[in-house]
Amino acid sequence: MSATPNRALRAVRVGLLMSQDDLARALRDEGLTSASKRLVQRWEAGETTRPRPQHARALERVTRTPIDQLGFTVVARVSEDGHGGHDIEPVPPPRPDQPTPAAVSSSRPRAFSGIWLSRYEYYSSGRSEKRVGLHYVVVLQHGNRLTVRSVPGSADSLLTIDLEVDGHIVTGTWAEQTAVTGYYRGARYHGAIQMLVDPTGRRMNGKWIGFGREFDINSGPWTLLFQDASTSKATVSKYGHQPDDPESSTRA
Same domain assignment for residues 142 and 227: yes
Per the structure, the count of domains in the chain is: 2
Query: Is 216 among the domain residues?
Result: yes
Neighbours of 252 (CB within 10 A): 5
Report the Cα–Cα distance between both ends of the chain, in Å, rounded: 56
Single-letter amino acid, residue 11 = A
Least confident segment among 114-123, 159-168, 182-191, 233-242: 182-191
pLDDT of residue 108: 52
- Segments forming the whole domain that contains residue 178: 112-243
Name the band, by pLDDT with cuts 50, 70 and 90, for residue 75. Answer: low
Q: Does residue 128 sit in the same domain as residue 199?
A: yes
Put simply, whether the predicted model's pTM sits higher than 0.85 gets the answer no
Task: Mention every residue, 6+ apart, whose C-beta is less than 8 A from residue 11.
Answer: 138, 140, 147, 148, 149
Question: CB count, 10 Å around CB of 187?
Answer: 14
Element holding 25 (H helix, E strand): helix 20-29
Q: Is the pLDDT of residue 235 over 80?
A: yes
- Place 172 in a pLDDT band, splitting at 50, 70 and 90: very high
Provide the pLDDT confidence category of residue 212 given band limits of 50, 70 and 90: confident
Does residue 94 surpass a pLDDT of 80?
no
pLDDT attached to residue 1: 60
- 3 state SS of 164: strand
- pLDDT-above-90 percentage for the chain: 49
220, 205 in Cβ contact below 8 A? Answer: no
Regarding whether 57 and 167 lie in a shared domain, the answer is no
For residue 50, the SS3 value is coil
Cα separations (Å) of 29 from 22, 25, 38, 86?
11, 6, 17, 30
CB 97 within 8 A of CB 142: no
| 63 and 173 share one domain | no
